Protein backbone atom coordinates (compact mmCIF):
# COMPACT_ATOMS: atom_id res chain seq x y z
CA UNK A 1 0.00 0.00 0.00
CA UNK A 2 1.46 3.34 -1.01
CA UNK A 3 0.74 6.61 0.72
CA UNK A 4 -0.19 9.53 -1.53
CA UNK A 5 0.80 13.10 -0.76
CA UNK A 6 -2.15 15.20 0.42
CA UNK A 7 -1.53 17.89 -2.19
CA UNK A 8 -2.15 17.79 -5.96
CA UNK A 9 0.84 16.03 -7.50
CA UNK A 10 2.26 13.98 -10.35
CA UNK A 11 1.49 10.33 -9.66
CA UNK A 12 3.20 8.77 -12.69
CA UNK A 13 5.11 9.78 -15.84
CA UNK A 14 4.40 7.65 -18.93
CA UNK A 15 6.11 7.25 -22.33
CA UNK A 16 6.07 4.88 -25.29
CA UNK A 17 7.72 4.49 -28.66
CA UNK A 18 4.26 4.90 -30.20
CA UNK A 19 0.88 3.69 -29.11
CA UNK A 20 -0.56 2.45 -25.84
CA UNK A 21 -0.02 1.60 -23.13
CA UNK A 22 2.57 4.15 -22.18
CA UNK A 23 4.90 2.81 -19.51
CA UNK A 24 6.17 4.52 -16.35
CA UNK A 25 9.53 6.27 -16.09
CA UNK A 26 11.15 7.84 -13.01
CA UNK A 27 11.53 11.29 -14.51
CA UNK A 28 11.00 13.08 -17.77
CA UNK A 29 12.12 16.20 -19.56
CA UNK A 30 9.25 18.28 -20.91
CA UNK A 31 9.72 20.67 -23.83
CA UNK A 32 7.47 22.34 -26.41
CA UNK A 33 7.62 19.05 -28.35
CA UNK A 34 6.33 17.06 -25.37
CA UNK A 35 7.97 14.49 -23.14
CA UNK A 36 11.42 13.28 -24.20
CA UNK A 37 11.36 9.61 -25.19
CA UNK A 38 7.67 9.65 -26.06
CA UNK A 39 6.31 9.22 -29.56
CA UNK A 40 2.82 9.19 -31.07
CA UNK A 41 1.70 6.84 -33.82
CA UNK A 42 -0.71 9.20 -35.52
CA UNK A 43 0.38 12.83 -35.63
CA UNK A 44 -2.89 13.89 -37.24
CA UNK A 45 -4.66 13.40 -33.90
CA UNK A 46 -1.82 13.30 -31.34
CA UNK A 47 1.25 15.37 -30.58
CA UNK A 48 2.31 18.73 -31.93
CA UNK A 49 2.72 21.97 -30.00
CA UNK A 50 -0.93 22.27 -28.89
CA UNK A 51 -1.11 18.59 -27.90
CA UNK A 52 2.42 18.20 -26.53
CA UNK A 53 1.45 16.57 -23.23
CA UNK A 54 -1.54 14.37 -22.42
CA UNK A 55 -2.86 14.54 -18.84
CA UNK A 56 -5.22 12.26 -16.94
CA UNK A 57 -6.53 11.82 -13.42
CA UNK A 58 -5.54 8.91 -11.17
CA UNK A 59 -8.87 9.25 -9.36
CA UNK A 60 -10.83 8.93 -12.62
CA UNK A 61 -8.76 5.85 -13.51
CA UNK A 62 -9.56 4.36 -10.10
CA UNK A 63 -13.28 5.06 -10.59
CA UNK A 64 -13.12 3.32 -13.96
CA UNK A 65 -11.39 0.34 -12.29
CA UNK A 66 -14.20 0.22 -9.72
CA UNK A 67 -16.64 -0.07 -12.65
CA UNK A 68 -14.66 -3.13 -13.78
CA UNK A 69 -12.60 -1.60 -16.59
CA UNK A 70 -9.05 -3.07 -16.83
CA UNK A 71 -7.46 0.37 -17.21
CA UNK A 72 -4.33 1.51 -15.37
CA UNK A 73 -2.13 4.60 -15.24
CA UNK A 74 -0.61 5.08 -18.70
CA UNK A 75 -2.98 2.63 -20.40
CA UNK A 76 -4.98 5.24 -22.26
CA UNK A 77 -1.89 7.11 -23.44
CA UNK A 78 -1.52 9.92 -20.93
CA UNK A 79 1.98 11.26 -20.35
CA UNK A 80 1.28 12.52 -16.85
CA UNK A 81 -1.08 10.75 -14.48
CA UNK A 82 -2.07 13.40 -11.92
CA UNK A 83 -3.59 12.96 -8.47
CA UNK A 84 -5.44 15.21 -6.06
CA UNK A 85 -6.98 17.56 -8.64
CA UNK A 86 -10.61 18.47 -9.13
CA UNK A 87 -10.66 16.93 -12.61
CA UNK A 88 -13.83 18.75 -13.66
CA UNK A 89 -11.76 21.96 -13.54
CA UNK A 90 -9.39 20.64 -16.23
CA UNK A 91 -10.71 22.38 -19.33
CA UNK A 92 -9.17 24.39 -22.16
CA UNK A 93 -7.52 27.57 -20.91
CA UNK A 94 -6.59 26.25 -17.47
CA UNK A 95 -2.90 26.65 -16.63
CA UNK A 96 -0.85 24.38 -14.40
CA UNK A 97 2.52 24.73 -12.75
CA UNK A 98 4.19 21.39 -12.14
CA UNK A 99 7.17 21.24 -9.81
CA UNK A 100 9.50 24.22 -9.79
CA UNK A 101 9.79 24.69 -13.58
CA UNK A 102 7.02 23.36 -15.79
CA UNK A 103 4.07 25.46 -16.94
CA UNK A 104 1.33 23.97 -19.10
CA UNK A 105 -1.93 25.24 -20.57
CA UNK A 106 -4.79 22.86 -21.27
CA UNK A 107 -5.74 23.25 -24.94
CA UNK A 108 -8.37 20.57 -25.63
CA UNK A 109 -10.08 17.38 -24.57
CA UNK A 110 -8.65 14.27 -26.16
CA UNK A 111 -10.65 12.07 -28.48
CA UNK A 112 -10.34 8.44 -27.45
CA UNK A 113 -9.26 6.12 -30.23
CA UNK A 114 -9.82 2.47 -31.03
CA UNK A 115 -6.39 1.58 -29.61
CA UNK A 116 -7.90 2.24 -26.15
CA UNK A 117 -10.62 -0.38 -26.53
CA UNK A 118 -8.73 -3.03 -24.55
CA UNK A 119 -8.93 -0.99 -21.35
CA UNK A 120 -12.73 -0.95 -21.29
CA UNK A 121 -15.54 -3.40 -20.71
CA UNK A 122 -17.11 -4.40 -24.02
CA UNK A 123 -14.28 -2.40 -25.65
CA UNK A 124 -16.38 0.75 -25.13
CA UNK A 125 -13.61 3.34 -25.22
CA UNK A 126 -16.23 6.10 -25.54
CA UNK A 127 -16.38 5.82 -21.74
CA UNK A 128 -13.62 8.48 -21.71
CA UNK A 129 -15.12 10.67 -24.43
CA UNK A 130 -15.86 14.23 -23.33
CA UNK A 131 -18.81 14.34 -25.76
CA UNK A 132 -20.37 11.13 -24.45
CA UNK A 133 -19.30 11.31 -20.78
CA UNK A 134 -18.34 14.88 -19.83
CA UNK A 135 -15.69 15.08 -17.12
CA UNK A 136 -14.12 11.68 -17.86
CA UNK A 137 -11.82 12.71 -20.72
CA UNK A 138 -8.07 13.07 -20.78
CA UNK A 139 -6.83 16.53 -21.79
CA UNK A 140 -4.05 17.85 -24.00
CA UNK A 141 -1.77 20.70 -22.97
CA UNK A 142 0.79 22.91 -24.62
CA UNK A 143 4.07 23.63 -22.88
CA UNK A 144 4.54 27.26 -21.82
CA UNK A 145 7.77 26.46 -19.97
CA UNK A 146 9.62 23.17 -19.98
CA UNK A 147 11.71 21.40 -17.38
CA UNK A 148 12.13 18.13 -15.55
CA UNK A 149 9.14 16.34 -14.00
CA UNK A 150 9.22 13.64 -11.33
CA UNK A 151 6.55 11.67 -9.46
CA UNK A 152 5.51 13.61 -6.38
CA UNK A 153 6.02 17.01 -7.98
CA UNK A 154 3.41 19.44 -6.71
CA UNK A 155 0.79 20.88 -9.07
CA UNK A 156 -0.72 24.33 -8.82
CA UNK A 157 -3.80 25.06 -10.94
CA UNK A 158 -4.74 28.51 -12.24
CA UNK A 159 -8.43 28.44 -13.16
Q: What is the pLDDT of residues 64-112, one digit of tens each?
A: 999 999 999 999 999 999 999 999 999 999 999 999 999 999 999 998 8
Q: Are 102 and 30 in contact (CB under 8 A)?
A: yes
What range defines the domain where residue 19 resides?
A: 9-158
Q: Is the predicted pLDDT of residue 46 greater than 60, yes or no?
A: no
- 152 lies in some domain: yes
- 137 lies in some domain: yes
- 120 lies in some domain: yes
The whole-angstrom separation of Cα 65 and Cα 88 is 19
Q: Is the predicted pLDDT of residue 45 greater than 80, yes or no?
A: no
Contacting residues for 37 by C-beta, under 8 A, at least 6 apart: 15, 25, 28
- 19 lies in some domain: yes
Q: How many domains does the chain have?
A: 1
Q: Are 146 and 32 in contact (CB under 8 A)?
A: yes
- 3 lies in some domain: no
Amino acid sequence: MSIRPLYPHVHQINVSDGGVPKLPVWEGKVSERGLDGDRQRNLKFHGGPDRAVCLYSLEIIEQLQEEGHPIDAGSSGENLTLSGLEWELMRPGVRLTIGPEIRLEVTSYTTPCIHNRGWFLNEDFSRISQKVNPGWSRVYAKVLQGGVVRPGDAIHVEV
